[in-house]
Amino acid sequence: MNYMYNPKKNFDFIKNNINHIAIIMDGNRRWAINKNKSYIDGHKAGVKAVKKIIKYSTLCNLKVLTLYAFSSENLNRSKQEVESLINLFLVVLNSDLDILYKNNIKLRIIGDISLFGSFFKNSILHAHELTKLNTGLSLNIAINYGGRWDIIQGIKKLISKIKYKKISPESINENYLSKFLCIDSKIPVDLVIRTGGEYRISNFMLWQIAYSELYFTNTLWPDFNEYSFQIAIKEFLKRDRRFGGS
């Protein structure tokens, strides 16, 4: 599937007004239940929605898109569902990687992949290596990710540097710690979208979204499309962002 849209469409209202959008993609299982389908059918429908949003993001020249695909808490689901999710991810990654590369998309998988097998890890490393020099959309996909884990692993890296006297504790500030997290603050998250009708962050990028705008919708993720995305962005553009100021 091609990730580019018809360039004749006008998306100037988005360009230069928003740089980084993060999405908590919620509702695949409920979508499946509503349609008397299996959970994996819901996740497959969710993948189709992902591809639509990536297309839209490339067209409107979004700099960064971060998708919360699989949280660390999701490991508590049944073994069959977890394995099906991972296998689905690998199938999509391997089938669509060349398309991402050809469309100048830089792909990064963020999260703790240490628990997964060597084939999974090698596929991710290959994807990173293939797309690392691409200069278009930066696409981050969170797999086995948790915001608390992200902060803790960043702190551990800092402690290691202090231990070996590469830095002093006095030199540590917010910007410095950000460099050791999965996503640093060079391009801050402007907007967090959560689908599925829930009103919580669910341990997603707790450090990075401190001043992000939040947008919640009842739309289940498989039904979230370009039009839904555009509504969320237009709502964001109405907001007066003061970042704690008056």
Q: Report phi then psi at 176, rounded to 5.
A: -70, -45
From 172, 170, 139, 9, select the one nearest 69 (Cα to Cα): 139
Nearest-angstrom CA–CA distance, 63 and 138:
6
Q: Report phi then psi at 213, rounded to 5.
A: -80, 145
Residue corresponding to tokens 């580019």: 4
Q: Which amino acid, residue 198?
A: E
Q: State the catalytic residue, choosing from 26, 96, 150, 190.
A: 26
What is the DSSP-derived secondary structure letter of residue 25? -
Residue corresponding to tokens 């504790």: 169
From 179, 178, 159, select the one nearest 169 (Cα to Cα): 159
Task: Name every residue whose Cβ is closer than 8 Å to that of residue 163 and which is 6 or more positions away in sequence.
Answer: none
| 74: annotated active-site residue | yes
Neighbour order of strands in the sheet with 64-71: 106-110, 138-145, 64-71, 20-24, 191-194, 213-216
| 150: annotated active-site residue | no
Q: Spell out where 127-204 has E strands.
A: 138-145, 191-194
What is the DSSP-derived secondary structure letter of residue 109? E
Q: State the catalytic residue, choosing from 74, 134, 203, 225.
A: 74
Catalytic residues: 26, 74
